[in-house]
Amino acid sequence: MTTRNLLVELLVEELPPKALKKLGEAFADVLADSLKAQGLAPRDAAITHFATPRRLAAHVTGVAGQAANKAVVQKLMPVSVGLDASGNATPALLKRLQALGADAAAVPGLKRAMDGKAEALFYEIVVTGPTLAEGLQKALDETIAKLPIPKAMTYQLEADCALPGWSSVSFVRPVHGLVALHGQDVVHVQALGLKSGNTTQGHRFEATVSPVVIKDADSYAEALYKDGAVIASFADRRAEIVRQIAVAASRVGGGVKAVEDEALLDEVTALVERPNILVCEFDKQFLEVPPECLILTMKANQKYFPLLDSHGRLTNRFLVVSNVSPADPSAVIGGNERVVRPRLADAKFFFDQDRKKTLASRVEGLSKVVYHNKLGTQGERMQRVRAIARAIGHQIGGPSLSENAYAAATFAKADLLTDMVGEFPELQGVMGGYYARHDGELDNIAFAIEDHYKPRFAGDELPRNSVALVVALADKLETLVGMFGIGSLPTGDRDPFALRRHALGVIRMLSERDLPLEVGELLTGAFKVLTDAALQREFFESQQEKELEQKKLAGGTIIHAYGFSPRIFDASTLVNLSGFIYDRLSGYLRDQGYNAHEVDAVVSLRPQRLGDVPKRLAAVRAFAALPEAPALAAANKRIGNILKKAQAVDPHVSEVLLQEPAEKALYAAMQEVTPKAKAQFEAGDYTKSLQTLAALRAPVDAFFENVMVNAEAIDLRLNRQGLLQTLHNAMNQVADLSKLAT
């Protein structure tokens, strides 16, 4: 059957830029998948996505004009129901055949086959393959229904559309054209009240032809570029922007380069159909404002690319991605420069105003800002964070680090009350660092205020110094314990308080900085701080109630504004939170390249010092490569099962009760091997410790071949169980080796 390439396009009004890339990919993929499922396109068909601000399109290769006919076997009913004793068709069978478009003449051709325990009748029919028009109509309907539309618009159809009257449809934006070409031929389909054709519209201002005629499916991109001044491919348009940015930066000279931002690049690609990069500038006086403020306002509000000099410092130049290419671009450049000036002026005003008040003077105001209705105010949260920070700082750095961490945690949230952070919440922490330096605070305090939100995302850098590390840990632990305490847990696709990110941040800081802190102690300490704070608040409010009652004011009633009570915390909080952190640890380690068996072997022991985890994993990997590993892992699994059934086993061995040569040999080998392995474990040489234990393979194998563990004599049975418990404890110090058993 002859095949040709297919092109389908929806011409729409301006699509939401942040969703365009995903919409374009989904439009092409869902359309092609539907055609493949109907047998109209081959499984290996090449799919090309097209997406511009005003169109979604797909190009699919090797599409047939009609799908091949297909034999379908239809189960009818059991033979006992469909045929009588004489082998004639029953009324039930005839009725079923009639529903399938057949009659009694088809009965002799029915096939019999076993269906479970009973024999059934089957009817084989040939289904005619759908035509491309039928299949594409179905594919279009499915595609439009499945598009990941952020928010649909309901709009009225034009009077001359295929659907008459006052009909209305819903789509992401109003649609004005539909192209469907199979080679050179138009495929007659309808979508969203429009009939298909072979014409579309090009660039609103720069198209040389209107409408643009698409001669065939393969000339779509070329025709739009040549006649419509549009680069139809999202990827090609993005690459062109990257190329022009590099050229424009080189024209500026001095080694300048544009700020790299993949999300911004995707967004501007979704805003233009034929990009034109222009160089603009702003007054140098604005460079007195922290560069983060200027960069954020240019990127977030104006979609500009700021330029950095060869040292990474912000310049007063920036790049604009324009959608027009006039012969004289001065008007476009001047317009963008005028637009950005008030934005930068606002940033400068906020910065100047904020510096008139110190961070210390803002701390008291945190008590008026609600953090969470069940966890109190930001002021109360600040007190909890600094209490946790003080304890952690003292543990890893003594009094000096403890007091610095306490001071940094006191000021860490104060910038939430500044005008700059009110306008740009993304700058919280960053602005606090600038204002702290302006107030004369030490650099380590300023760095801690700036860095205590880090790591903000996967792969982000960790806090720069010890003070920042302590405050960041305390901040994340307070959030985790607080949210788990009130039952605000993440679900499959929702994590509004970023608890997964907070847990990963704790894991990374403990592991990558090899901090001498144990997970259990950290969680318990943070839990105690929150419960103590809740108890104090409850006591304070109860005292208020008594005073009001005594004075008979307001009927002696006090309103519990935030509901922060110790009763919201219980023992399950720590259990659930600990499990959550170790689950995140497992995922983090797998992302590092360790396999599931290695990770499970180490994480199942719930190691408290996360800085040791990489060494444990390296030891497990080295052990797994030994020839003795499979047998020892299997034996360890067997031992674990035996001990589970035996329940509480005393790891004590009496030599007097060792009777069989194999158990005596195992005991003797353990006496020689396990002390060495234990010493190596305690010295932190986990690899050598496991390699030493590999010498136990032969005596362990002999033990299980020749010794009955569950002997009838209770003293022998308990002694052998004790021997296995001792062996199990020795083998599972580094990792649970049974997890390596396949």
Domain end position, chosen among 127, 147, 168: 127
Q: Tell me, yes or no, whether 623 and 729 share the same domain.
A: yes
- Cα–Cα distance, 391 to 474 (Å, whole number): 9
pLDDT of residue 79: 83
Q: List 126's β-bridge partners, or say none.
A: 71
Q: Tell me, yes or no, whether 56 and 186 share the same domain.
A: yes
pLDDT of residue 555: 46
- Whole domain around residue 242: which residue ranges? 234-354
Between the alpha carbon of residue 43 and those of residues 33, 36, 47, 129, the distances in Å are 9, 6, 11, 16
pLDDT of residue 551: 52
> Is 632 domain-assigned?
yes
> Is 362 domain-assigned?
no
> Is 379 domain-assigned?
yes
Q: Do 439 and 485 touch, CB atoms closer than 8 A? A: no
The Cα diameter of the chain in Å comes to 105
HSE value, Cβ hemisphere, 13 Å, CA-based, for 737: 32
Tally of domains within the chain = 5
> Is 23 domain-assigned?
yes
> Is 553 domain-assigned?
no
Q: Tell me, yes or no, whether 373 and 489 share the same domain.
A: yes
Q: Tell me, yes or no, whether 104 and 135 share the same domain.
A: no
- Helix, strand, coil abundance in the chain, percent, nearest 5: 55, 15, 30
Between the alpha carbon of residue 340 and those of residues 33, 270, 313, 337, 347, the distances in Å are 45, 21, 19, 5, 11
> Is 435 domain-assigned?
no
N- to C-terminal Cα distance for the chain?
50
Q: Tell me, yes or no, whether 62 and 102 share the same domain.
A: no
Residues whose CB falls within 8 Å of the CB of residue 147, separated by 6 or more in sequence, listed in order: 23, 26, 27, 30, 172
Q: Tell me, yes or no, whether 485 and 533 share the same domain.
A: yes
pLDDT of residue 561: 42
Q: Tell me, yes or no, whether 446 and 461 share the same domain.
A: yes
The helix (H) or strand (E) run that includes residue 153 is strand 153-156
Q: Tell me, yes or no, whether 32 and 181 share the same domain.
A: yes
> Is 363 domain-assigned?
no
> Is 430 domain-assigned?
no
Q: Tell me, yes or no, whether 220 and 250 share the same domain.
A: no
pLDDT of residue 560: 43
Q: List 131's β-bridge partners, or say none.
A: 66
Amino acid at position 504, single letter: L
Per DSSP, the three-state class of 690 is helix
Q: Do 336 and 417 touch, CB atoms closer than 8 A? A: no
Q: Do 299 and 306 touch, CB atoms closer than 8 A? A: yes
Cis peptide before 425 (omega within 30 of 0): no
pLDDT average per 10 residues of sequence, the chain (742 residues): 91 95 96 94 95 97 89 82 84 85 82 84 82 94 92 78 65 94 95 94 94 96 96 97 96 93 96 97 96 95 95 96 94 96 96 96 95 91 96 96 96 97 95 96 95 92 96 97 92 90 97 95 94 73 57 45 54 90 96 94 96 95 94 92 85 91 95 95 95 94 93 91 93 94 78
- Cα–Cα distance, 232 to 454 (Å, whole number): 39
This prediction's pTM: 0.81
Per-residue buried b or exposed e for 32-69, using 16+ beta carbons within 10 Å of the residue's own CB: bbbbbebbbbeeebebbbbbbbbbbbbbbbebbbbbee
Q: Tell me, yes or no, whether 255 and 308 share the same domain.
A: yes
Q: Tell me, yes or no, whether 465 and 497 share the same domain.
A: yes
Chain centre distance of CA 349: 37
From 288, 290, 523, select the one nearest 429 (Cα to Cα).
Answer: 290
pLDDT of residue 539: 57
- Cα–Cα distance, 631 to 626 (Å, whole number): 10
Q: What counts of helices (H) and strands (E) characterise the chain?
A: 25, 20
- Cα–Cα distance, 212 to 55 (Å, whole number): 13
pLDDT of residue 240: 97
Q: Tell me, yes or no, whether 99 and 138 share the same domain.
A: no
Chain centre distance of CA 738: 31
CATH number at residue 721: 1.10.730
pLDDT of residue 556: 43
